[in-house]
Amino acid sequence: MFKKVWLGLTQIVTVLVLLAFIVITLKPQWLPNLSTLGRDSVSVKRADPNANLTFKQAPANLAGLSYHEAVAKAIPSVVRIYTTNSATAGIEKGSGSGVIIDKQGYIVTNQHVISGASQIQVVLDDNRDAAAKLVGVDPDNDLAVLKIDLPDLTSITMGREDELRVGDVVLAIGNPFDVGQSVSMGIVSALHRTKMGVNTFENFIQTDAAINEGNSGGALIDSNGNLVGINNFIVNSGTGNNTGNAGVGFAIPVSTLQQVAEELIKTGKVSRGYIGASSQNITPQMAKAFNLPNANGVIIASVATNGPAAQAGVQVGDILTKINDTEIIDVNSMVNVVAQLKPGEAVKLGIQRNGQGLELKTTAGERPAVATAP
């Protein structure tokens, strides 16, 4: 009896295994999807190969970015400057950079590049060279204008620094360490930098583009190849022979060089206004002591005898708050506003004295070549 039962079970199992083999081999679609058992149902949809796909081109500043066109546009206008000073014991030689601003051969550079030079030689990007004549200098802005006599010159395209924004890309072109024409890239780090103690009139563009010895007087251009400034100086890291570029460079804005160059070309000098008064900034403590609503304005520290300010009745201790219609914020703004006055121009001075507001009138003089006060 037991033997018959066992034989029957064996036959049933054999039949079931055979049926399973047939189903798995010939009809697998009859089987449940074992991979989804015990899981949430997931709907998978294949991508339609005929679907309309839109591909966006990567922005230029992310893929294949190059400023070749900007550099190619500006670099024919940037020159190398070599100076010789034979008036000192021995012969001193120096190098720097400059920018052609006019096809007639006028070149702008820094005054310190050509200071004391007895001979100035200019080499163009195409390696033509010529002796340069000094047209005039403006030590207050560290600018100079030279002139060369060569045909087929390419003048730089002027840009506008008032359209620059912090973070914009700029490129410095010049002759660092006399290695030849070189280009470095950076961004505008800051605008309207003052109180650097370098020039009398300061309104610098700050950049982290590499500017080194020999770059002085070279071009700072925007990403379109337009001139926005003249490279002027850098802040070095380290001391002595261990100094290096700290990524803090400064350029004179194009509007300043245009104004200065125009006057130097026309008259050989720059005429600026003068009122004959020095000043100092008002601290919060001073504002409180003088019962002023804020620290705007400057306190008059000295008045030149018989100068325009003295003739108007300005006194030491007066608070100067306005020149004509321009508010005076600090010493730097006073210096710049006075400099923009034309000699002989009528001037109104807004004064606070002993809590009273006064308007004093005078006539602007001409700033002396070496002035101790505006």
Residue matched to tokens 């000043």: 279
CB 187 within 8 A of CB 181: no
Catalytic residues: 112, 142, 216
Helix (H) or strand (E) holding 259, with range, is helix 254-267
Distance CA 204, CA 227 (A): 14
Residues 6 or more apart from 324 whose CB is under 8 A from it? 347, 348
Q: Strands 298-303 and 273-274: what pairing? A: unpaired
Could you write out the DSSP letters of every residue in 159-173?
--GGG--TT-EEEEE
CA separation, residue 2 to residues 5, 8, 11, 13 (Å): 5, 10, 14, 17
CA separation, residue 160 to residues 19, 74, 221 (Å): 88, 15, 10
Q: 3-class SS at 255?
A: helix
